[in-house]
Amino acid sequence: MALFVDTLGLIDIWRRSHPYDTQYSYFSGAHRVYSRLDYIFVPAGEIQSVISAEYKARGLSDHSPLWMEIGDGHKKSRKGWRFNAWELGDPLIAKAVLDDSSLYFRENTGTVESAVTLWEAYKTVLRDRLQNIVAQKKKREREEIETIETQLLTLEGGVIGTADPVVLRQIAILKKEYHDKASGPVRAQILATQHRLYDTGDKAGKLLAWLGNKQREQMGQGSKKSRWRDMYI
């Protein structure tokens, strides 16, 4: 593999960043063997854009994720705020929004002539409140995940070469906790991506397709299920 990588002009970016360190990315439970099997190769001409490369704790997989940070020199554009309804699935956030909303309307109803002005001002208050609550929640979740990652890295480093069953049990418990805490933000990102795809999608085309399907159903020409396959034709 080394000859192949050299021929292509690629650099093992973790080894380039850590020339004297020893790190493993995979543990074989059956053979009690640690190996570094996970790599990121970067073209030699692009290594100046790499800021860091680090192995993280094995939380969601039996392999350690390899994290590479790249700087492109461009400032991120600031996106406009939009209300993320799924945040209300958190009981604490939902209660805070309800309490703040009740307080706002109780104290401000009748103070302005226009209900539109009252509503627009409320949206500003709601935005600021939600941004603050969600930011605190994300910070707390990040700190909890980073704490678990640190504990996992410490335990995995200590068990290398010994395979102590007690330590392996502790690692398994921490990995389960890590999975539970890390999967929440992942689900939120997937939902946010689905929303963005819908927002940028062909809404007119989707509406026409839906209306066409409804019309065919009303005419008795809806989709029929094949008796030979589990599919609709």
34-51 pLDDT, tens digit each: 788 888 898 888 888 888
Q: If you average pLDDT over every residue of the chain, what do you get?
A: 77
Q: Are 41 and 12 in contact (CB under 8 A)?
A: yes
> pLDDT tens digit string along 90-126?
888 888 888 988 999 999 988 888 888 888 888 888 8
Integer Cα distance of 180 and 42 in angstroms: 32
> 28 Cβ partners below 8 Å, 6+ apart?
34, 35
At what angle are helices 91-108 and 115-159 packed, to 10 degrees?
160
Mean pLDDT computed over 46-74: 79
Determine the pLDDT at residue 229.
44
Rg (CA), the chain: 26
> pLDDT tens digit string along 125-171?
888 888 888 888 888 888 888 898 888 888 877 666 666 788 888 88
> pLDDT tens digit string along 164-203?
788 888 888 888 888 887 777 666 677 667 666 666 666 6
User: In this predicted model, which residue has the larger pLDDT, 60 or 38?
Assistant: 38
CA angle (173 as vertex; 169, 177 as ends), nearest 5: 165
